[in-house]
Structure 1
Amino acid sequence: MSGDNVDERNGYQVPPRPPLPGPATNSAAPVRKIGMPPGIEPALDTVPSSDHGIPIPVARPEFGVAPTSFTPVPGAAVGAPASAHAPVTAPTPVATTLRNPRLELPDGSVLPLDQGLIVGRDPQHQDGYGVTERARLHDVERSVSKTHAILGIAEGRIWVLDLNSTNGTVLIADDGSETLCTPEVATPLPANTAVRFGEYRVQVTVD
């Protein structure tokens, strides 16, 4: 180099430095973007989780209107649907009192029926029937519903009302014939008759 001349090096003149390229002005140039994985919203900063399934609505049974009590309506026909006020009654005269009405279970247990009973594997209180006593039936076959039926007393007769049970309530006559009770209809029971809740058979007895 000669002296302090920055434009010369080793006796040769250094050409001027070319200008640096300016900012791009071509707006039509493609813009490269990194694609998002399927199912991801670009505006979201979280990944949707598939751990929780979509809730499936469960169909629930719709029960009929419950009678307010076990007080029969005079003159109503046996087997007619239960009204919003009272169940049905038998057209024939019946005794006005029952002596020691009770439910005899297969294991020998005896349950009084004076105040009525709500029976089932784990019976729950039922509004509108005038019966509060509950009796748990130990059914190893699990044919008895959780809250299966109600037994009540009115006008000297015992009534049974199936609460839309899964396996039904059946009356068993002395000759072995069976009658299926209509759900939500109060059905009168003859004295000293058998009843089957599902496959669980009991005996209704009076003195």
Structure 2
Amino acid sequence: MRCRICGAELPAEAMFCGECGSSTSATPESRRRADPRPGDTTVVDRLRTSQRNSGVVSVPVEGFAAPVPIPEAGHVATSAERPAPPAAERPAAPRFTLRFSTGETLMVFGTGLIGRRPLPQPGEEFDHLVQIADRTLSVSKTHLEFGEHEGVLWVADRFSGNGTVVRRPDDGALRCEPGRRYLVPRGSRVELAEQSFVVA
């Protein structure tokens, strides 16, 4: 019989290895130390209300521009092939001010992700990635998505560990079902575990 940890030759009735001291039932997998790094999200007690120092950073994201094909001589471009109008000719997107519980204020438009380290899925493009420095790890890496519909902000929980709660001015608290969009009129408060923001 051999020790599965160090490979030393052992007597048949041995319970421990005389070389490394390991149990004869030990395996390399059972001896592996646990990873000391924290996981993606730590579930928090929602009754705790103490605030932690944290910050909010907005990182504008430039979409990948598709290459413009060079037309052949005499070719008339179709509407699908014509380039998009310059930004000055496009209708202005509504802008929303997000006032975070940490004191930071951020103006956003279009679409975006909010979280400790938001990361789009392959093929997704967003106007903003809003990063929240949350030392308690109560906010997920990619906690929620936001966008605009007919001049009103909407949010959608991205299957976060602690969930998202919307408190509208004329309504009670509403826990967001992951993957479903919820309209958030101005004056509403959106809670992301121990962090939150008010839409203005």
TM-score, normalized by length of structure 2?
Answer: 0.51
SS at match of 1:123: coil
**Alignment check: 8 A CA contact 1:103 1:203 kept:** yes
**Alignment check: 8 A CA contact 2:116 2:134 kept:** yes
State the shift of 1:38 in Å: 6.9
Which of 116, 134, 137 matches 2:111?
116
State the shift of 1:108 in Å: 2.4
SS at match of 2:29: coil
C-alpha deviations, 1:146-170, integer Å up to 9, x for none? Answer: 1100111133221101000111110
Hey, what does 2:149 align to over in structure 1? 154
Matched, 1:52 2:47: no
The percentage of aligned residue pairs carrying the same residue is 28
Structure 1: gaps (5+ residues): 1-35, 40-47, 56-95
Matched letter for residue 142 of structure 2: T
How many residues of Structure 1 are paired with residues of Structure 2 in the alignment? 123
Matched letter for residue 116 of structure 1: T
Hey, what does 1:200 align to over in structure 2? 195
Take 1:176 and 1:107, find their aligned partners in 2: how far apart are those partners? Answer: 24
Hey, what does 1:37 align to over in structure 2? 12
Matched letter for residue 52 of structure 1: P
C-alpha deviations, 1:78-105, integer Å up to 9, x for none? Answer: xxxxxxxxxxxxxxxxxx9765312111
Structure 2: gaps (5+ residues): 1-10, 15-23, 33-90
C-alpha deviations, 1:13-53, integer Å up to 9, x for none? Answer: xxxxxxxxxxxxxxxxxxxxxxx7379xxxxxxxx994511
Q: Which has more radius of gyration? A: 1
SS at match of 1:53: helix
State the shift of 1:140 in Å: 3.8
Q: How does 1:11-160 map to 2 (within 5 A)?
A: 37=12, 50-53=26-29, 99-127=94-122, 130-160=125-155
**Alignment check: 8 A CA contact 1:102 1:204 kept:** yes
**Alignment check: 8 A CA contact 1:113 1:151 kept:** no
Cα RMSD, aligned residues only = 3.0
State the shift of 1:113 in Å: 1.8
Gap change, CA 1:102 and 1:128, over 3 Å in 2: farther
